[in-house]
Structure 1
């Protein structure tokens, strides 16, 4: 259906791909992964419209392949006056109306042949989409996504997450041979994420999904395409098996690299000794031996270079504060109410101490982002901030914090940095090179913008962070780096998130919005709530054990204890087989 061979493509600012190749076949559900800014969305754009791009290599798509597409950026028109069912059924109704119009024309036309041809084309299109049963099929999809109660609701009344699911259903209802989704999970609450998983797994055609969401990666795909450092790797199998394979390769290569380092060091001593002797003695034979030894050294250094899929860039995210305060109440919210078209919160209240790390959770559309913004503005009588608290804010609407017409250099000069060298050194820790810092922020990927926001927040050294969906658009490696940074941060954090992995890995407790109130929940109860509804106990135990073993491998590699790393790798392999 889809075949890419030796494809290379560059922007003026940087190279994206270097002779990458992959294929997609019928029935494959493929996750497309890679670091932020590696070019995943651009490659999807090329697949959708190859004529827009000048590239080397070949991109072959079966002429009969019908494609559907769900964008990461699409938002519904709040003024659109159609129901959910009408929105999903729009193409079916259009073809039905076309068929009815052609039939009416045939009743009076003297030249019926072209009308018969149009009639047959419309019938074929309707049949290809499964038109005979489209109403019942829409109802089945809505039920699968737990949106049956929304069937007759106006599109304008849906939350952003609900609309994203409706979009997925609408594209799937066209029965495409290949449906492509670009980060469809961004900003979905956990219930909607479960629904998205169900829709993906139920779809019979090919699926290509750009995602960093660990829940979807673990539950939806039988093929992995990994784009990293301008190269691409295919893996037929589950994400958890692919991750294990990468880890085993890393153990092997790290051990070889240390052996290579030792051999290179020994060789360097020999070369230095021979060069000294050559400077003292004019001997042609010695010169030849020296040249041979230098060539051996060059081969050793070239061989030492690791695979791009092991040398994965992980930003060095550090959340720091210069102004730590003794443990006290950092934030009080009392009798807080919020309403738009309807009441969202009524007389809500909570407190956060100066070292608490707290997740604010709730369904889409319950007022989490608005509350976070009001805390940051600090102009509501229901909100009280301790005098010693300095706040920083990360927005899910990235243009609120970053000026998209700026370069990264300009952004950080505006943030108080004094020299270009200072900016280059600081941003290099976050994985940003010289080419990157001169690009306009508006041209960056969503993940790169979020990393840049985190870099800007860290530079401010605030002692309370308000983070609105900080893991959105971040690749898996950056998510893990952020989790470590949150764990090591000494100040207070209030984080809106639907990523239950991040919540469980680094939060102290939960504030959950239910029935227009905010109540505190322990991490133990939160885990129980999530697991009871969506996982069995064996899966939970296996995931915890798997994480423990992976941590053990990381420590063993740090200590260059390769025997222990290999032993733990065997243990991890057995756990993966059981998942």
Structure 2
């Protein structure tokens, strides 16, 4: 059954059209995602669907008595109530019904059971009791406890005033309240913000079993993969519908665009052929009728539009002037915190070139504090931090405090590199989508996404061989996250990062560090490998060391673990081979582009340009030779591994 339907919806701002021809259906028990670039209009469309605003054109129809729960982005509760009392307001109708039931019980105790009035009261009492049970009157407290526990609110929090909570906690509580209301349609705008991985996993399971329908906007691709079953893509000011989860949507979209380009190219060839015939034969008496017939055919043809997509995205890479040593970072028995108040520790781990280590752990455990301590921005309480030789460190701060709030975008970059020409600075900013007058925006007026892009702009300008990133995907849309993933995977240096973006961790991490209050534990592989390891090993023991604590095991368990270790080791080797193959392909493409440029007549006669291009070509060839050697070595290791295992 269709719960809600949008037909030919349009939104305009003056003469500008934000989107048009929007057609969308939400099915009963549907699990639907709305995706698209930042600024495409996803939140605007959600507000229309939720009934908060009206479309400029078109209609949004709903089934009778449809209840909708809408959670705006970063929407938090504002209440003087305690946490428990605030959530309990959801069940006010049940409390009224319960009070009526108690009143009827008192009446029944005083009435003569042989009278008609007694029978009438008894009938009303039975009806209310049945309805009270049906509406969950005997389970609402356990539902409240279950949801509060899922969102990380233990019983010690129940009496805490809502207004004493942090912004993130208020947002979690707002989502908890909507879930308790159990509307027919849940509309959630970025519900995974402020949630740690444990809560995210719980929420995914909860939403899978939710009895109503779900319409969600999220940049969390892992969440979308595990929850949604169809995707609407707001692209090029209109909607395209795809079945499947996020990964399947990406594949289907590529296939659709490929098919559209094929049909468009075929029609263009046919049009060119017909037009050529008309031009050659329209004036010849013997063939003019055929030419006129083809002209009519051209006039009647339903011409396909050139396929387009919102494909404007940032493009960049990280670079270094020199290689670091193999030993990048050694941390031993480190305790971190503020004012001698320990947040976590002792922590011991090592970082080696060119690994990419992702740090995971509950919110508030001190992951960002750890990074700042490693960079000596915060003093360590105890323990040692040893940085390796020849390090060029680049740091991305999730709080974006490294940006100067009163500078323009242009000056924020140019002031650090006054020797560089303005046109080169503007060209760099353009690759991060700061074009035209955007470069004169003041930093404190930028959105979170724009600040994130500006911070990445500055990082890409610096020579770096050790990259330290604190929640780098926050504020980035999905396309920008994918570009960042490619830049990190192509980076030849070492990376240490904190992230709650599980999809991102899967794409870039070679290792995972699981951080707890009393220790940190090392796992090889990406996030899925980490989940597999922790699921098979059970809860991780508290430890201050990265070395795995192994319990005595039977031969069967040892055999199983050995098999898992071998699989993980092979995946690691295969990822390295694949990475180097991609790098070889990219370098070959770059060489081909330069060779094509050198063959152009206006360049072939310009000795200066030819010399510069030849230098670039030589550098690329040298890089290609180095990568090919590395690929050969990696491929031989993989082949040797397969032969011995």
CA, structure 1 residues 304+13, in 2 after alignment: closer, same or farther (shift >3 Å)?
Answer: closer
2:495 aligns with one of 478, 485, 493: 493
Supply the distance in 1 between the matched residues of 2:333 and 2:59 (Cα, whole angstroms). Answer: 62
**Following TM superposition, by how much is the alpha carbon of 1:530 offset from its aligned partner in structure 2, in angstroms?**
5.7
CA, structure 1 residues 43+391, in 2 after alignment: closer, same or farther (shift >3 Å)?
Answer: farther
Q: What is the CA RMSD across the aligned residues, in angstroms? A: 5.1
Match of 2:73, SS state, is: coil
Indicate if the aligned counterparts of 2:332 and 2:349 stay in contact, CA closer than 8 A. yes
1:321 aligns with one of 319, 330, 335: 319
1:529 aligns with one of 529, 533, 557: 533
Supply the distance in 1 between the matched residues of 2:15 and 2:310 (Cα, whole angstroms). Answer: 21
Indicate if the aligned counterparts of 2:94 and 2:137 stay in contact, CA closer than 8 A. no
Supply the distance in 1 between the matched residues of 2:398 and 2:323 (Cα, whole angstroms). Answer: 28
Indicate if the aligned counterparts of 1:92 and 1:126 stay in contact, CA closer than 8 A. no
Indicate if the aligned counterparts of 1:76 and 1:155 stay in contact, CA closer than 8 A. no
Supply the distance in 2 between the matched residues of 1:527 and 1:71 (Cα, whole angstroms). Answer: 31
Supply the distance in 1 between the matched residues of 2:405 and 2:44 (Cα, whole angstroms). Answer: 19
What does the per-residue CA deviation read over 1:353-405, in whole Å, with 9 as the maximum and x for residues that have no partner?
Answer: 4533211111222100122233345453654545743433323335x355677
Q: Which moved more, 1:508-517 or 1:345-354?
A: 345-354
How many residues align? The count is 510
CA, structure 1 residues 91+449, in 2 after alignment: closer, same or farther (shift >3 Å)?
Answer: same
CA, structure 1 residues 152+425, in 2 after alignment: closer, same or farther (shift >3 Å)?
Answer: same
Supply the distance in 2 between the matched residues of 1:92 and 1:387 (Cα, whole angstroms). Answer: 62
Corresponding residue for 1:350?
Answer: 349
Corresponding residue for 1:201?
Answer: 208
**Following TM superposition, by how much is the alpha carbon of 1:227 offset from its aligned partner in structure 2, in angstroms?**
0.8
Supply the distance in 2 between the matched residues of 1:318 and 1:194 (Cα, whole angstroms). Answer: 32
Supply the distance in 1 between the matched residues of 2:210 and 2:21 (Cα, whole angstroms). Answer: 31
1:135 counterpart = 2:135: no
**Any gaps of 5 or more consecutive residues in structure 1?**
105-122, 560-579
What TM-score results when the alignment is normalised by the length of structure 2? 0.64
1:246 aligns with one of 241, 253, 264: 253
1:177 counterpart = 2:184: yes
Q: Which moved more, 1:325-334 or 1:363-372?
A: 325-334
Supply the distance in 2 between the matched residues of 1:434 and 1:265 (Cα, whole angstroms). Answer: 37
Corresponding residue for 2:368?
Answer: 369
Match of 1:18, SS state, is: strand
Supply the distance in 2 between the matched residues of 1:150 and 1:224 (Cα, whole angstroms). Answer: 40
Q: Which moved more, 1:315-324 or 1:207-216?
A: 315-324
**Following TM superposition, by how much is the alpha carbon of 1:483 offset from its aligned partner in structure 2, in angstroms?**
1.6
Q: Map 1:268-287 onto structure 2 (within 5 A).
A: none
**Following TM superposition, by how much is the alpha carbon of 1:17 offset from its aligned partner in structure 2, in angstroms?**
1.0
CA, structure 1 residues 440+255, in 2 after alignment: closer, same or farther (shift >3 Å)?
Answer: farther
CA, structure 1 residues 6+363, in 2 after alignment: closer, same or farther (shift >3 Å)?
Answer: same
Supply the distance in 1 between the matched residues of 2:425 and 2:50 (Cα, whole angstroms). Answer: 38
Supply the distance in 2 between the matched residues of 1:128 and 1:42 (Cα, whole angstroms). Answer: 37
Match of 1:370, SS state, is: helix
Indicate if the aligned counterparts of 2:371 and 2:470 stay in contact, CA closer than 8 A. yes
What does the per-residue CA deviation read over 1:425-449, in whole Å, with 9 as the maximum and x for residues that have no partner?
Answer: 3344345554766667677665554
**Following TM superposition, by how much is the alpha carbon of 1:495 offset from its aligned partner in structure 2, in angstroms?**
0.8
What does the per-residue CA deviation read over 1:13-54, in whole Å, with 9 as the maximum and x for residues that have no partner?
Answer: 964212322233432222111123322123223444644x77
Match of 2:304, SS state, is: helix
Indicate if the aligned counterparts of 2:71 and 2:188 stay in contact, CA closer than 8 A. yes
Q: Map 1:74-473 onto structure 2 (within 5 A).
A: 74=75, 84-92=83-91, 96=95, 133-142=139-148, 152=158, 154=160, 165-235=172-242, 237-256=244-263, 303=304, 305-306=306-307, 308=308, 311-313=309-311, 315-339=313-337, 343-353=342-352, 355-376=354-375, 378=377, 380=379, 382-385=384-387, 388-398=390-400, 400-402=401-403, 408-409=409-410, 411-414=412-415, 416=417, 421-431=423-433, 434=436, 446-447=448-449, 449-473=451-475
Indicate if the aligned counterparts of 1:228 and 1:312 stay in contact, CA closer than 8 A. yes
Match of 1:73, SS state, is: coil
**Following TM superposition, by how much is the alpha carbon of 1:226 offset from its aligned partner in structure 2, in angstroms?**
1.5
**Following TM superposition, by how much is the alpha carbon of 1:332 offset from its aligned partner in structure 2, in angstroms?**
4.0
